[in-house]
Chain A
Amino acid sequence: MTVTEQHQDHPGTGSRTSLRPEPPSRSGLRRQDAMWATVLIAPTAIGLLVFSIWPTLLTFYYSFTSWGAFGGHTWAGLENYTQLLHDSELLQSLVNTAILSLITLLSVPLGIVVAALLHRPDFRLTRFYRTVYFLPAVTLPASIALMWRLVYNGDFGPLNWTLSLVGIDGPSWLADSHTAIYALGVVSIWGSIGYNMVLFLAGMQAIPRDYYEAAELDGAGSISQFFQITVPLLTPTTFFVTVITVINALQAFDLVFLMIGKTNPALEKSQTVVYLFYEKGFVESQGGYAAAIAFVLLAVILVFTAVQFRMQRRWVHYG
Chain B
Amino acid sequence: MADAVAATGSQKLPRWRRDLWVHVVLMLGAVLMISPFVLEVVTSVKTFAQATHTPPSLVPHPFHWGNYKDVFESLPFGRQLLNTVVMTLARTLGQVLLCSAAGFAFARLQFRGRGLLFGLFLSVLMVPSQLFLLPNYEIMQHLGLLNSISALWLPGIFSAFGTFLMRQFFLQLPRELEEAARIDGANPLQVYWWVMLPLATPALMALAILTAIWSWNDLLWPLIINTDPSKMPVSAGLAALQGGAPHQLSRPDGWLAPSQPADDRAVRDLPAPCPRGHRVHRSQGLATALTP
Contact = CB atoms under 8 A, between A and B. Distances in A.
B36 to A, nearest CB: 4
A71 B255 contact: yes
Contacts, number: 302
B260 interface: no
B171 interface: yes
B160 A41 contact: no
Contacts of B171: 5
Contacts of A307: none
B157 A52 contact: no
Given A133-B33, A141-B219, A150-B40, A47 B127 contact: no
A254 B189 contact: no
A38 B19 CA distance: 56
A37 B188 contact: yes
B239 A258 contact: yes
Interface in A74-102: none
Interface residues of B, number: 106
A251 B111 contact: no
Contacts of A139: 37, 217
A257 B124 contact: no
Contacts of B36: 144, 147-148, 150-151, 190
Assign chain A's interface to a size class: 35 or more
Contacts of B120: 48, 53
Contacts of B78: none
Interface stretch (A115-123, A227-235, A310-318): A115-123
B222 to A, nearest CB: 11
Interface string A148-182: 11111111101001000000000011110000000
Interface centre among A144, A253, A282, A294 (most CB of B within 10 A): A282
B182 A117 contact: no
Contacts of A277: 130
Most chain-A Cβ atoms within 10 A of its Cβ — which of B134, B163, B224, B235?
A: B134
A142 interface: yes
Interface stretch (B51-59, B261-269, B270-278): B51-59
A287 B220 contact: no
Interface in A36-61: 36-41, 43-45, 47-48, 50-56, 58-59
Contacts of A109: none
A7 interface: yes
Given A123-B22, A137-B213, A147-B36, A37 B135 contact: no
A7 B110 CA distance: 7
B13 interface: no
A47 B189 contact: no
Given A44-B159, A129-B30, A156 B53 contact: yes
Contact of A59 (B37, B40, B132): B132
B101 A41 contact: yes
Interface in B235-290: 235-236, 238-239, 242-247, 252-258, 287, 290
Given A2-B119, A40-B188, A147-B40, 6 more contacts: A17-B183, A124-B19, A129-B26, A258-B245, A282-B256, A283-B252
23 contacts: A38-B111, A39-B189, A40-B105, A41-B102, A43-B102, A52-B124, A52-B127, A54-B135, A69-B254, A117-B26, A136-B33, A138-B217, A141-B217, A142-B244, A156-B53, A156-B54, A190-B33, A257-B219, A257-B244, A258-B245, A282-B224, A290-B134, A298-B127
